[in-house]
Amino acid sequence: MSNNHLNILLSTHEGENFFDLLNDVPNVSIRVVEPGKITKEDAADVDILYGHPSRDIVEIAPKLKWIQASSAGVEFVAKIPELVNSDVILTNTRGAHGPSIGEHTFALLLALTRHIPESIDQDRRHHWERGTLYRTAREIGGLTMGIIGFGALGRGVAQRAPAFDLKVLAVDAQAVDGAGLAEEVWPVSRLDDLLAASDIVVVTAPLTPETHHMLGAEQLARMKHDAYLIVVSRGGIVVEDALIEALKNGKLAGAALDVTEQEPLPADNPLWDTPHLLMTPHLAGASARKERRCVEIFKENLLRYQHGDPLLNVVDKSRGY
């Protein structure tokens, strides 16, 4: 790492409206290539890639030293052993998505507790009826929110919990401090305790071999029957068939998924017709301010790289986060 001239390839739509923030970085040449269309010629002299790598990127980019992923989740790394086994540094945009995902989590939760989807359905049918909706709407003040994965996303959710008078518990694979955001942060070995104690369970963990299908029928059965499940990080952590059965059988009050195991979700997937389930199409991390933060993280890292300083958000490629 030095102040030598660097060739940078930008190959993502994430933050593209803010690429001009990089214009004042010295000693770099920047090219933009459509995602998924990087050729051998494009990659021949690339030192740094901003975006998601393809499987063959290590082979076709012999000078590649560092990949700045444009997302917080880097589950793609598990499918690219050539990258895992290489000396290429991988960083992500951890921290950029916390505010938007925190807000989206509460939007989903309040939509469930205040019967917003049912009310919208009445709007479309020009039908006004309170009935069951009036008798079953809930307040969330005083409830316990359990957060699975207490990294930047989980903390983004927890930061907003005091405004709703929620008690926060969390589990994480690492020994992390609640830092005033959670009453307790337990190891993942206490996941069952968190599920049993929580009125609202929020999944903000990354998708890794360890978290894949970590919430199946047995785990969902440990949740309170009047609890809510909200998933805003990655699909594949919850066993969707088990969630469908739990909701159909009244074992949960409701659930909201911003992410699903297969995206886009096929029209014939049974999730569409599952009662008490609200879905949004992977929108939780979306906002113009988040896109700017992603580029700002890359710029900060680029300046650090040039000066030989430690990079932000270095990913352990073997762990996938």
Supply the residues annotated as catalytic.
234, 263, 282
Among residues 317, 312, 292, 299, which one has the least CA distance to residue 6?
299
What Rg do the C-alpha atoms of the chain give, in angstroms? 21
What's the token pair of residue 10? 């930008």
142 burial class (0-12, 13-18, 19+ CB within 10 angstroms)?
Answer: exposed
Are 48 and 9 in contact by the 8 Å Cβ rule? The answer is yes
Kindly write down the DSSP assignment for every residue of 239-271, as one continuous string. -HHHHHHHHHTTSSSEEEES--SSSSPPTT-GG
Count how many residues are written for the chain. 321
Are 313 and 153 in contact by the 8 Å Cβ rule? The answer is no
